Amino acid sequence: MSATQTQLLLDVPLEKRPRHVAIIMDGNGRWAQRQKLPRIRGHQQGAKTVRVITEECARIGIEQMTLYCLSSENWKRPQDELEFLMFLLSQYMIQERETMMENNIRLKIIGRRDRIPADVQTAMDKSLEMTAGNTGTCLCLAINYGGRAEIVDAIRRICQKVARNEVSPDDVSETLVSEHLYTAGMSDPDLLIRTAGEMRISNYLLWQISYAEMWVTEKMWPEFTIADFHEAIGDFSKRNRRFGGLDD
């Protein structure tokens, strides 16, 4: 990272930086196709970008980063691509443990576990266990995740508690719903970054991003850099976040 990039970030006061950054990592396949490469090469390069941006989050003290790794709709993709994604996920869990431990990163995984192969789940659980005591950046991976499914699961758990007389319908509130989401205990994202120029949310963190600031770049995820990340944070720092209120 150049001295200029570092200075740009230093110009952003800590209180103006996002605590929680969520990223829709779009464009792996398109990047590969533009390079006349198989789509899986795009996923491989995208995994390298994940490491770079995760390490930078740890370096600059971002409290939480949530990455959209695999949506519940992605199962519609070709079987060979899905199998490679599962292999890549398993390899990531194994190979990045050292990086996570060195950078004091705590791993969290959200989404439904059904359809995730048993060996991949084992690798996920091992990484979760190893990093549980870390106190730095929380790296949250959304795997087999869908925002609507998350809300449905939260409602189902609340209904079960109502049926057991543990909760009254009158107790249901935004706070109670938040406590039953996959992200319970996490702060809501302040900044939502999407690569590849798409202007949609794609069923991602529907409840949590109610007041997130959006930042979209035309760059594909494999070509997203630390400089781009700093640019997003710098732009975020200039936003006037009113949360439904009026300017001072």
Give the active site residues.
26, 74
Give the whole-angstrom CA distance, residue 118 versus residue 104. Answer: 27
Could you give the angle at the alpha carbon of 176 between the alpha carbons of 141 and 112, nearest 5°?
30
Instruction: Give the containing element (helix H, strand E) for 226.
Output: helix 226-237
Give the contacts of 125 (CB within 8 A, at least 6 positions apart).
Answer: none
SS3 content of the chain, % helix, strand, coil (to 5): 50, 15, 40
C-alpha gyration radius of the chain? 19
Residue with tokens 């409602």: 155
HSE, side-chain direction, 13 A CA sphere, residue 243:
3
First-to-last C-alpha distance (Å) of the chain:
37
